[in-house]
């Protein structure tokens, strides 16, 4: 059985944001993107690299996928395994991508994820916290 692994950068007041930069996700007028970069240390960086360099597939929200989709194929030197990983994308609007391998999930997401967990394969790393919240 696969595990679901969540690696999040979260502030004490609940802001979840990647270290990409101020322009990474400006939805809702958010202007503090990349805030976590200033707080990294050797311990957290080492743990993150260990997870990123182990075999994994990705469970992504559509929004995160669309941020990553144009970036990671051109930056494989930073994180080579991201392009090899199967990207399971939760979306009611997308059904395909040139960034392969990608599989799009819709409908009963909890059921689909339960099936994925039962399959053979590497652990599922989560990207995009919104996939956990019903809107």
Token pair 């979260």 is found at 10
SS3 49: helix
- Tokens 């991201």, located at residue: 82
pTM for the full predicted model: 0.82
Identify the weakest region by mean pLDDT among 39-43, 59-63, 88-92, 104-108: 39-43
- pLDDT for residue 129 is more than 50: yes
Q: What domains can you pick out in the chain, each with its CATH number?
A: 4-132 (3.40.430.10)
Has residue 122 got a pLDDT over 70? yes
* Contact assessment for residue 31 and residue 38, using Cβ atoms and an 8 Å cutoff: no
């Amino acid at each position: 059985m696969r595990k679901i692994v969540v690696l999040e950068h979260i502030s004490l007041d609940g802001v979840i944001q990647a270290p990409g930069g101020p322009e990474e996700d400006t939805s809702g007028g958010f202007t503090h993107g990349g805030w976590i970069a200033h707080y990294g240390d050797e311990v957290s960086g080492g743990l993150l690299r260990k997870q990123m360099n182990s075999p994994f597939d990705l469970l992504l929200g559509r929004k995160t996928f669309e941020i990553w989709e144009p970036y990671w194929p051109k930056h494989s030197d930073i994180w080579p395994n991201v392009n090899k990983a199967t990207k399971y994308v939760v979306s009611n609007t997308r059904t395909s991508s040139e960034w392969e391998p990608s599989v799009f999930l819709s409908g009963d997401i909890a059921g689909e994820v339960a099936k994925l967990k039962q399959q053979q394969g590497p652990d599922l790393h989560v990207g995009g916290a919104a996939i956990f919240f019903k809107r």
